[in-house]
């Protein structure tokens, strides 16, 4: 029996000590922990153990390091240039305690980006940043499949090198985009893990990135994962925002996501190159 099946299974005649919640039938519609039943004044053992497992998985997601070498090998298979950078946070403990350092590049990383910078008419249209954030597993699993599907829909765009950033927060895309002279930066970052989603990816799009941009100047697509917002739908939304931002020359609160997904077939991505699960 899978964990999902076990967690959602109703109490049986052998579970005489468990009081079944009358809303139990609604559990099939959500991954949220509702209608768990009770044993006396406590939770039954199965949902309690499932909660502890999910809590451990969420903690592991925060502390698991990003395998940057594997990501860069996958990007190389796609003939996509890549460069690895670090934030100013020296280690994971400092990253968690000092969010401000996760928004800045360290000196060596900033210097590494200079040779990749476009200029004048050769400005880069778009730079993807794959960042570990608070769930490296999310970045490892979902970033490249999303990039595959997004690039497949972009025609005539100058795509810069994919930047792989560790100990990174969302705003690290601002100095990266500025140094690369990019018109837009899309930061694909592991979101804060939840008890039912330890590997969820967020996408943050910023027009004319520069240090000091506020979150109000970004657009966000969240919960990208097979169990949430699928790669195809996320790519569809991202391309819509990219095209609209290019036309309106802005992102953030002034740019609304008015895309309507109708289940149309998107340009095929090479699934054989997707990151291994």
Looking at residue 121, what is its pLDDT? 57
The verdict on whether residue 220 carries a ligand-binding annotation is yes
The verdict on whether residue 191 carries a ligand-binding annotation is yes
User: CA-to-CA distance for 203 and 145, rounded, in angstroms?
Assistant: 13
Q: Dig out the tokens for 263 from the structure.
A: 């289940």
- pLDDT tens for the chain, 277 residues long, are 444 444 444 444 345 677 877 777 777 777 777 777 888 778 888 887 777 777 777 776 777 899 999 999 999 999 999 999 999 999 999 999 999 999 999 999 999 999 988 665 568 999 999 999 999 999 999 999 999 999 999 999 999 999 999 999 999 999 999 999 999 999 999 998 877 788 899 999 999 999 999 999 999 999 999 989 999 999 999 999 999 999 999 999 999 988 888 775 444 444 444 443 3
Domain boundaries, the chain: 66-273
Residues contacting 146, CB < 8 A, separation 6+: 188, 201, 203, 224, 231, 234, 235, 238
CATH topology of domain 66-273: Rossmann fold (3.40.50)
> Kindly report the CA angle at 79 between 158 and 188, in degrees rounded to 5?
65
User: CA-to-CA distance for 77 and 68, rounded, in angstroms?
Assistant: 14
The verdict on whether residue 170 carries a ligand-binding annotation is yes
């Amino acid at each position: 029996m899978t964990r999902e099946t076990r967690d959602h299974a109703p109490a049986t005649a052998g579970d005489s000590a468990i009081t079944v919640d009358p809303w139990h039938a609604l559990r099939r519609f959500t991954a949220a922990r509702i209608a768990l039943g009770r044993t006396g004044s406590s939770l039954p053992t199965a949902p309690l153990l499932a909660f502890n497992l999910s809590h451990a998985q969420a903690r592991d997601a925060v502390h698991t390091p990003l395998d940057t070498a594997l990501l860069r090998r996958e990007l190389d298979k796609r003939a996509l240039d890549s460069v690895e950078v670090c934030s100013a946070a020296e280690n994971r403990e400092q990253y968690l305690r000092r969010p401000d350092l996760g928004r800045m590049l360290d000196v060596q990383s900033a210097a590494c980006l200079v040779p990749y910078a476009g200029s004048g008419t050769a400005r880069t249209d778009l730079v993807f940043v794959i960042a570990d954030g608070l769930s490296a597993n999310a970045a490892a699993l979902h970033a490249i499949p999303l990039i595959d599907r997004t690039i497949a829909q972009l025609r005539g765009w100058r795509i810069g090198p994919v930047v792989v950033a560790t100990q990174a927060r969302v705003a690290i895309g601002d100095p990266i985009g500025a140094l690369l002279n990019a018109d837009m930066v899309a930061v694909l970052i592991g979101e804060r893990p939840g008890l039912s989603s330890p590997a969820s990816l967020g996408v943050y799009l910023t027009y004319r990135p520069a240090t000091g941009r506020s979150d109000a100047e970004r657009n966000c697509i969240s919960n990208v994962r097979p169990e949430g917002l699928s790669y195809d739908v996320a790519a569809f939304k991202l391309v819509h925002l990219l095209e609209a931002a290019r036309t309106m020359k802005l992102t953030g609160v002034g740019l609304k996501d008015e895309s309507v997904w109708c289940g149309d077939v998107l340009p095929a991505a090479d699934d054989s190159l997707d990151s291994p699960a």
